[in-house]
Structure formats: structure tokens, C-alpha cells
């Protein structure tokens, strides 16, 4: 069995994986900026594209972070039920893969608490 240094466990060339991860980051950041500016159509479009790519790569931590970001956008847009659903999906991924003793778990927990005490 030979090992190809130019590929990875995703079956992609390293350069393509790097570009996809960079694109995910760019889409996520631009989505959050759009949301902060009240442009929720662009915000959701960009963040959902980023989420789709992260899911394609099976990057669980990244999927959880992006679901948390979507929860924030839903909260900002007044869609509280959707916000809670996104936070819960994110929380389930984090608990399943990383447990409760990590920064992302605590962040999501704070976001859920904030959702209940401000709506």
C-alpha cells in the first residue's frame, strides 16, 4: 500500500482541501457580516453554502460551528424556533464527538440560554 502525500483522508488533493476550507471560512465570515448588517438573504445563503461544503467534507467540528452561526443568524432575524433547532443540532454534534468539556459546547450553551432569556 503506497501513501500519497498529495492526498488526504478525504480523497482530495491537499491543495483542493485547503481551498475548500478557505472557501468555507470566507463564506461563513461574509455571511456573519451580512447578518450583522441586516442582509439576512445573503447571510443565510453564504452560511448554508459553507455548511453544505463542511458536511461534504465530514468536518464535524466545523459543521457544529456553522450550525451555531446559523443559530445566531436565525436569532438576529427573529426566527427563534429555527435558532433553537440550529443550536440543538450543533450541540448534539459536539456532545457526540467531543463531549461537554470544550469551548464550543460552552458557547452553544450560552447562546441557548441567551435565546431563552431575551425572547
Instruction: Identify the domain containing residue 80 by its residue range.
Output: 14-118
Q: Tell me, yes or no, whether 2 lies in a domain.
A: no
Q: Tell me, yes or no, whether 1 lies in a domain.
A: no
pLDDT for residue 4: 42
Number of folded domains in the chain? 1
* CATH number of the domain residue 92 falls in: 1.25.40.10
- 107 and 88 in contact (C-beta within 8 Å)? no
Q: Note the pTM of the prediction, 2 decimals.
A: 0.87
Q: Tell me, yes or no, whether 6 lies in a domain.
A: no
Q: What is the pLDDT of residues 15-68, one digit of tens each?
A: 999 999 999 999 999 999 999 999 999 999 999 999 999 999 999 999 999 999
Q: Tell me, yes or no, whether 64 lies in a domain.
A: yes
Q: Tell me, yes or no, whether 7 lies in a domain.
A: no
Q: Tell me, yes or no, whether 5 lies in a domain.
A: no
Q: Tell me, yes or no, whether 88 lies in a domain.
A: yes
Which three cell numbers mark 90? 450543533
Amino acid at each position: 500500500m503506497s501513501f500519497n502525500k498529495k492526498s488526504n483522508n478525504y480523497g482530495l488533493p491537499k491543495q483542493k482541501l485547503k481551498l475548500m476550507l478557505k472557501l468555507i471560512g470566507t463564506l461563513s465570515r461574509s455571511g456573519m457580516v451580512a447578518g450583522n448588517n441586516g442582509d439576512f438573504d445573503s447571510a443565510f445563503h453564504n452560511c448554508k453554502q459553507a455548511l453544505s461544503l463542511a458536511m461534504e467534507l465530514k468536518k464535524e467540528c466545523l459543521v457544529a460551528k456553522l450550525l451555531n452561526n446559523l443559530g445566531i443568524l436565525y436569532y438576529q432575524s427573529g426566527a427563534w424556533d429555527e435558532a433553537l433547532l440550529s443550536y440543538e443540532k450543533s450541540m448534539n454534534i459536539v456532545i457526540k464527538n467531543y463531549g461537554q468539556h470544550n469551548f464550543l459546547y460552552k458557547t452553544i450553551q450560552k447562546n441557548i440560554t441567551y435565546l431563552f432569556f431575551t425572547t
